[in-house]
């Protein structure tokens, strides 16, 4: 078959293997909860494609965005393929949840201006309620995919899309106020999937297991679409299921004999920490051939500890596959040869700060993991971000990319597109052989990634090493200072500083760039007389001795107040902005430490009833306090838990405790999207009242209450 779009891939798979179970869905307990065959996917995609074409305004679905609002599950897969079959532009996004999740979703809707919205029957009332208040969605068609009859497939007609047509918009994970939709064309998607197939060594025998979010590039392109492209099979489960019990991931790899699976570095760290030796004994991971690691900095120590911990389970170190990519390049950019393992090298920190990569060992060296090389004719160059001059191997600069996988730009943002997708090297195609065609078809345009790195290795086989983000880099008197290095030094300077809760950033003072450090302090240590001055002094000396960088100011913060994302990543730019505005929350006065916040009283309206509500609130506080490393009496009940330091792991643990102790389901999304203890208590109380009401209704009708699942 002549493949012109990803639609052709789906149709081809259905023709060749209609009965093959392409996708298997696992519930939170790891049990099969659904299957989707190649023929079933094709039928559903035709029905949805026909509905979308009819529902869209005149002109059909060509280049018309369709907003996809789904919980994790197979309905999302059919909806995405339905958009391909309509020639529509899929816009995956998280469905509306609590009030704190709405600004980003509203911003995406306002930017994308969708002509249709797809969801499930269960979510349809909530989606309609949200749409009613959004001017950008006035008059937009909305439907539940599980209510569209398969008979609609008879009305489907091929939309005639080709490689230049848009397949979907991938919204970046930046500021919720200004999300940018990366325009991924069918040609981009086909090229990137072929790169992944070759780099990972995928074929029709491959089995992929993925818990990654379906709405993001790694989960969608690497998890859902790659098995469809390469001819393999896929086993999916929800991200919350993995966070709740990391062993579920490894169990699925063992049970389905997965050949390919992976995720960000934290996933490997989480398994190493949370899956004990006794639980590991039951796993056989010898089938795992490609354990990819990307999306965030790949840490050599994490890879070493994971490989050692699971070696008794048959896991082979050569399966480790560090890689590099980003949404603006569709997904995959660089990776090593299949089954070659992770290559780690150490470089002198002092030289890295001077824009050079010089191999070194021992003290003063920093270990980095190679992320391989580009594939299939794509080009990667390291560039001085100011002069736009290509740099030689061993010089640190911004990573630029050119090639067929580079997306078309940002939806509706020509200026940002010109800035990031149409960069040109100084002097044109400097460094090109005479007469050689450039990787981007000769235009001389490059994608600026905003990432810093360097090339290292023998000529002709250099590998990429990523060192950080350009926007987070601290430049002090001509030296590159990497914030993660400074933060690690600071946190080790005093036992009262919390690990992973520091932000180093540059700020202008007295006409030059100065180093500022914001660090969270353990609550009990902060209360000791004179402790804050002692801590700040220890940080200053440690950073100066290790990095020869004077610290302009050490800002000590109350536990849980450092700006972070919902997944626990430090928001350095937000921290800097708050510091410059004088609004950095939780700041401790060095001369008189802040007292712990007074616990908020549970008033009459805080829950289902006065006395039970207070009791429930106190129980929640007792369960949450150890996870936030604080005392129950000092835990504010009216503040979002993520603002108090709750990360993904702690949220999953709190969810487990509440469900085990109270026998009620607590939504992990509520915890990660900013619920306070008061709000959780209200929802738990409401859940109790609803359950009791159902029981009373059943008893009044002479029936019996169904057993709890």
Q: Report the pLDDT averaged over residues 207-232.
A: 94
CA dist 682 → 323, 608, 612, 660, 677 (Å): 44, 7, 11, 18, 9
Q: What is the pLDDT of residue 585?
A: 86
Which backbone phi and psi does 379 adopt, to 5 degrees?
Answer: -115, 145
Coil, strand or helix at 213? coil
CA-to-CA distance for 700 and 221, rounded, in angstroms?
Answer: 52
CA atoms lying within 13 Å on the CB side of residue 83 = 28
Is 50 exceeded by the pLDDT of residue 266? yes
Confidence of residue 104 (pLDDT cuts 50, 70, 90): confident
Q: What is the pLDDT of residue 589?
A: 62
CA-to-CA distance for 549 and 486, rounded, in angstroms?
Answer: 9
Q: Lowest-pLDDT range, 152-156, 278-282, 316-320, 609-613?
A: 609-613
Is 90 exceeded by the pLDDT of residue 211? yes
Confidence of residue 677 (pLDDT cuts 50, 70, 90): confident
Element (H, E) at 518: strand 512-521
Q: What is the pLDDT of residue 177?
A: 43
Q: How far is CA 464 from the centre of its chain?
A: 22
Is 90 exceeded by the pLDDT of residue 249? yes
Confidence of residue 260 (pLDDT cuts 50, 70, 90): very high
109-158 pLDDT tens trace: 999 999 999 999 999 999 999 999 998 899 899 999 999 999 999 999 99
Evaluate whether 50 touches 60 at the Cβ level (below 8 Å). Answer: no
Q: What is the pLDDT of residue 690?
A: 54
Q: What is the pLDDT of residue 349?
A: 86
Q: Report the pLDDT averaged over residues 30-57.
A: 93
Contacts of 476 by beta carbon, 8 Å cutoff, 6+ apart: 506, 513, 514, 515, 549
Is 80 exceeded by the pLDDT of residue 61? no
CA-to-CA distance for 537 and 530, rounded, in angstroms?
Answer: 11
380-422 pLDDT tens trace: 999 999 999 999 999 999 999 999 999 999 999 999 999 999 9
CA-to-CA distance for 244 and 5, rounded, in angstroms?
Answer: 38
Q: Which two tokens stand for residue 249?
A: 């991931």
Nearest to 271 by CA among 252, 249, 301: 249
Token pair 């057993």 in the structure block, residue: 707
Whether pTM > 0.85 for this model: the answer is no
Q: What is the pLDDT of residue 41?
A: 97
Q: Which of 247-256, 287-296, 595-604 has the highest mean pLDDT?
A: 247-256
Kindly give the interhelix angle for 74-86 and 6-16, rounded to the nearest 10 degrees. Answer: 120
CA-to-CA distance for 191 and 374, rounded, in angstroms?
Answer: 12
Nearest to 70 by CA among 168, 183, 213, 173: 213
491-530 pLDDT tens trace: 989 999 988 889 999 886 654 568 899 999 988 877 777 8
Q: Which two tokens stand for residue 469?
A: 């983000």
Q: Which residue has the higher pLDDT, 362 or 643?
A: 362
Q: Report the pLDDT averaged over residues 10-39.
A: 94
Confidence of residue 473 (pLDDT cuts 50, 70, 90): confident
Is 60 exceeded by the pLDDT of residue 691? no
Q: Which two tokens stand for residue 576?
A: 């800097």
Transcribe 585-633 into DSSP letters: TTBPPSSSPPPPPPPPP--TTSSSSHHHHHHHHHHHHHHHHHHTTS-GG
Evaluate whether 28 touches 240 at the Cβ level (below 8 Å). Answer: yes
358-379 pLDDT tens trace: 999 988 898 999 999 999 989 9
DSSP class of 438? P
Q: What percent of the chain has pLDDT over 90?
A: 52
């Amino acid at each position: 078959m002549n493949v012109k779009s990803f639609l052709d891939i789906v149709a081809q798979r259905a023709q060749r293997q209609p009965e093959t179970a392409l996708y298997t869905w696992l519930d939170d307990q790891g049990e099969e909860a659904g299957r989707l065959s190649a023929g079933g996917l094709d039928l559903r995609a035709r029905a949805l494609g026909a509905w979308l074409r009819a529902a869209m305004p005149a002109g059909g679905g060509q280049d018309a965005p369709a907003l996809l609002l789904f919980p994790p599950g197979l309905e999302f897969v059919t909806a995405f393929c339905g958009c391909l079959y309509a020639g529509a532009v899929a816009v995956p996004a998280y469905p509306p949840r609590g009030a704190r999740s709405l600004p980003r979703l509203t911003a995406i809707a306002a930017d994308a201006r969708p002509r249709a919205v797809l969801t499930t029957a269960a979510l349809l009332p909530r989606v309609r309620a949200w749409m009613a208040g959004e001017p950008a969605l006035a008059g937009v068609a909305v439907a539940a995919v599980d209510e569209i009859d398969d008979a609609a497939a008879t009305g489907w007609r091929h939309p005639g899309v080709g490689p230049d047509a848009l397949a979907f918009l991938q919204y970046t994970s930046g500021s919720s106020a200004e999300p940018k939709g990366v325009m991924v064309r069918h040609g981009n998607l086909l090229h990137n999937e072929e790169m992944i197939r070759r780099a990972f060594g995928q074929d029709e025998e491959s089995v992929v297991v993925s818990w990654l979010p379906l709405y993001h590039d790694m989960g969608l392109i690497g998890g859902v679409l790659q098995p469809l492209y390469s001819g393999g099979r896929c086993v999916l489960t929800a991200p919350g299921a993995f966070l709740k019990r990391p062993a579920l991931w490894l169990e699925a790899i063992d049970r389905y004999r997965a050949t390919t699976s992976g995720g960000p570095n934290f996933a490997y760290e989480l398994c190493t920490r949370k899956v004990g030796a006794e639980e590991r004994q039951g796993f056989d991971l010898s089938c795992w051939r490609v354990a990819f690691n990307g999306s965030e900095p790949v840490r050599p120590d994490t890879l070493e500890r994971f490989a050692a911990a699971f070696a008794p389970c048959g896991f082979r170190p050569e399966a480790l596959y560090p890689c590099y990519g980003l949404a603006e390049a569709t997904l995959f950019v660089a990776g090593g040869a299949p089954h070659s393992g992770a290559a780690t090298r150490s470089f002198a920190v002092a030289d890295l700060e001077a824009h050079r990569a010089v191999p070194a060992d021992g003290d003063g060296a920093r270990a980095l993991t190679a992320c391989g090389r580009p594939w299939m004719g794509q080009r990667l160059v390291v560039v001085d971000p100011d002069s736009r001059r290509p740099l030689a191997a061993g010089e640190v600069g911004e990573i630029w990319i050119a090639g067929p996988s580079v997306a078309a730009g940002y939806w509706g943002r020509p200026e940002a597109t010109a800035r990031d997708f149409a960069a040109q090297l100084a002097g044109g195609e400097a460094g090109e052989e005479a007469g050689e065609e450039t990787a981007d078809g000769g235009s001389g345009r490059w994608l600026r990634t905003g990432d810093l790195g360097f090339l290292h290795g023998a000529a002709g086989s250099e590998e990429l090493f990523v060192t950080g983000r350009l926007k987070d880099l601290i430049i002090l008197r001509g030296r590159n200072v990497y914030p993660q290095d400074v933060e690690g030094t600071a946190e080790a300077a005093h036992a009262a500083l919390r690990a992973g809760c520091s932000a180093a950033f540059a700020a202008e003072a007295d006409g030059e760039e100065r180093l500022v450090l914001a660090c969270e302090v353990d609550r009990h240590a902060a209360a000791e007389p004179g402790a804050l001055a002692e801590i700040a002094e220890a940080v200053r000396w440690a950073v100066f001795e290790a990095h020869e960088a004077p610290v302009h100011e050490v800002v000590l913060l109350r536990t849980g107040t450092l700006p972070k994302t919902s997944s626990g990543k430090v928001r350095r730019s937000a921290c800097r902005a708050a510091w410059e505005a004088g609004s950095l929350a939780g700041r401790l006065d060095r001369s008189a430490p802040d007292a712990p916040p007074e616990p908020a009283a549970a008033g009459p309206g805080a829950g289902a009833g006065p006395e039970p509500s207070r009791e429930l609130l106190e129980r929640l506080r007792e369960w949450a306090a150890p996870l936030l490393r604080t005392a129950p009496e000092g835990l504010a009940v009216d503040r979002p838990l993520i603002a108090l330091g709750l990360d993904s792991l702690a949220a999953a643990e709190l969810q487990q405790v509440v469900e085990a102790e109270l026998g009620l389901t607590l939504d992990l999304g509520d915890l990660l999207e900013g619920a306070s203890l008061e709000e959780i208590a209200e929802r738990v109380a409401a859940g109790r009242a609803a359950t009791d009401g159902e029981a009373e209704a059943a008893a009044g009708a002479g029936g019996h209450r169904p057993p709890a699942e």
